[in-house]
Amino acid sequence: MSSDPIRALGLTDDPRFVAPEKLGGKSAGVHDGVAITENPATGEVLGGVRLDGSAALDRAINESIEAFKKWREVPAPARGQVVRAIGEEFRRVKEPLGELVSLEMGKIRAEGLGEVQETIDIADYAVGLSRQLPGQVFPSERAGHRMFEQWLPIGPVGVITAFNFPNAVWGWNAMLAAVCGDTTIWKPSLLTPLVAMATNAAAERVAAKMGHAGVFKLVIGTDDAVGKPMVADRRLPLISATGSCRMGRAVGQAVAARLGRSLLELGGNNAVIVHSDADQELALRSTVFGAVGTAGQRCTTTRRLLLHESIAEKFTERLVAAYKQVATRIGDPLKEGTLIGPLANAAAVEQFLAAVKAAKAQGGEVLFGGERAAPNGLKGHFVQPTIIRAPRSNKLPIAMEETFAPILYVFTYKDLDEAMAMHNGVDQGLSSAIFTESIRASERFLSPTGSGSDCGIANVNAGTSGAEIGGAFGGEKDTGGGRESGSDSWKAYMRRQTTTINFGGKFELAQGIRFE
C-alpha cells in the first residue's frame, strides 16, 4: 500500500468520519447512530461514519430536486464535459481509492484498482453518449405532419448499492444519469461507507467547482431510516437497486405500488459448460478466476461447473491441482501476489460453512477446501476456495441457491440438451458461458429462438465474470431484468416523449377519421 488511503482521500476531514480511537473499542456494525467499518482481512476497525436519518434523506431529496431543475437545463454535451472532468478526477485518485476498496471490502489490490478504472471507463463512455441520446423519426400518415420521439431527463434517481462493488456500480448509474440530465441520491452498503464517501466527494467536488453543486448526493443510513423511505418516495421516479433477490423483491414491490420505475440488478447462480471438444486450458483458467475472484463475492461468480462426462475426471483433477496452487495465495488483499482476499464479514463465513455442511448432507463430495483459512495468522474472515462434486444423480439442492463465497459445484452431463436443461434450471439468470470449438454447440448455446442460455449475459470461450462496460449488464428471472452500463441502458434514466408537429395548418385525424 503506497499510503494511508483514508487520509490521502481526505476522509479524516469529513465531519461524518469518526476516528477509531473515538469509538470506545466497539466492533464492526451499527452502534449509537454510527456505522463502524472494519478491514475484513484483519478485523481492524478503520473508523466510523455518523449515520443519516429520515430528515437527512428528506433534505437530500429536496436539494436534489432543486439541483435537477437547473442541471436538466444544461445542454447534454456540456453535461458530458462535467462527467469528463469527473473521470479525470477519478484517474487522479485511482490508486488511493482503489486501495481503499481493497482495505474496506477485501478484494485484492488489482481488482480494487480495476473497479475504479471501471468507473473511469463508464465516465468516458458517458461523455460520448452525451452527444447522442437519439430519438427516432417516424413517417406520419397525415400530410403536413411530422412525428418523432425525444428522450428527456427523468428526475432525481435513487441508487442503492451492495458492498461487493462499492465504487463501480455507483459509477454505472451516476455517470449515465448525469449525462441524461438527472441528479443522483446514493444509499451505499453500510459495510463500505468510506469508499462511498470518497467516491461521492470526488464527483460532487468537481461538479460544484464547475458550477453544478448538488448533482451527486450521498445518504448513509440504515434500511429502516433511509432505504425503505427512499424506495417509497414518489419524488424519486427511478430506483436503481443492486443486491440480493430477496431485497430486490421488496424494492420492486414497493416501487411498483407507487407506479415508479425500478432497475434491479440482483443475484446470480452462474454456470460454465465445458463441452467434450473444449480448449481445456482456456476453460480451466477462466473457470478458476470466475469461481475464486473477489473470493466468490461477485454476482457473476462461476458457481456451477457442468462437465461433459468424457472429460470430467481429467478436468476435475486439473481443477483441484489449480485450487491447491491458488490456496497458497490467500491473504492480505493489499499484498503483492495475493489472489484471494477475505469474505465481507463473519456472517459471510458462517453462510459459507453452512452451505458446505448442507452440500455434504445432500451427498456432495468436497474435493478441496470447505473450511476456514488463517493465512499468515491473519484474523480476518478467510475461507478456503472450495470444490464440491455433486452425487451421481446430479441432485444437489444447495447448488440451486446463491452463496456469496468461493464454492464451485461440479456436475457432469451426457449431451448438450441435458447440459442446457441443467444450466437453465435455476431461478437466477445473470451470466453464462460455454467452452467449445464446435459451431453447432456454440450456436445451440446462443440459440436465436431463445432455447439456449436464458441469461442476460452469454459467452463463448470466455468466463462468466469480467464484463466490459460497452455491453448492457444485467440478467433475467430472479436477477431482476435490469440493464446497466453500456448499449442502450441510458434509456432507463430518461423518459420517452412522442411528438407530432402539424406544420401544414390543416385539421386532420389519423386512421381516416372525419370530424366535421
CA dihedral for 363, 364, 368, 370, sign (positive or negative): negative
Helix (H) or strand (E) holding 317: helix 312-327
SS3 of residue 169 by DSSP: helix
Torsion, Cα 94 96 99 100, to 10 degrees, reads: -110
Q: How far does CA 512 lie from the centroid of its chain?
A: 50
Helix (H) or strand (E) holding 33: none
Alpha-carbon distances, residue 168 vs 116, 468, 499 (angstroms):
6, 12, 36
Scan for cell 463441452, then name that residue: 275
Residue closest to 380 by CA, chosen among 2, 28, 11? 28
Residue closest to 164 by CA, chosen among 244, 49, 262? 244
Alpha-carbon distances, residue 100 vs 1, 27, 35, 380, 500 (angstroms):
10, 19, 17, 17, 52
* Distance of alpha carbon 359 from alpha carbon 391, whole angstroms: 10
- The full DSSP string for 333-349 is TTSTT--B---SSHHHH
* Range 25-28, long-range pairs (CB < 8 A, 24+ positions): 28/345
Residue closest to 192 by CA, chosen among 270, 69, 100? 100
* Distance of alpha carbon 167 from alpha carbon 183, whole angstroms: 17
Catalytic amino acids?
265, 299
Q: Say if residues 273 and 434 touch (Cβ distance below 8 Å).
A: yes
The two beta strands, 238-242 and 157-160, are parallel
Burial of 515: CB neighbours in 10 Å, binned 0-12, 13-18, 19+: exposed
Q: Say if residues 406 and 296 touch (Cβ distance below 8 Å).
A: yes
Which residues, including other chains, have CB under 8 Å from residue 373's CB and lie 6 or more apart? 327, 330, 382, 383, 384
* Distance of alpha carbon 274 from alpha carbon 289, whole angstroms: 15
Q: Which amino acid is at 356?
A: V
The two beta strands, 137-138 and 45-50, are unpaired
HSE-up (13 A, CA, CB side) for residue 133: 26
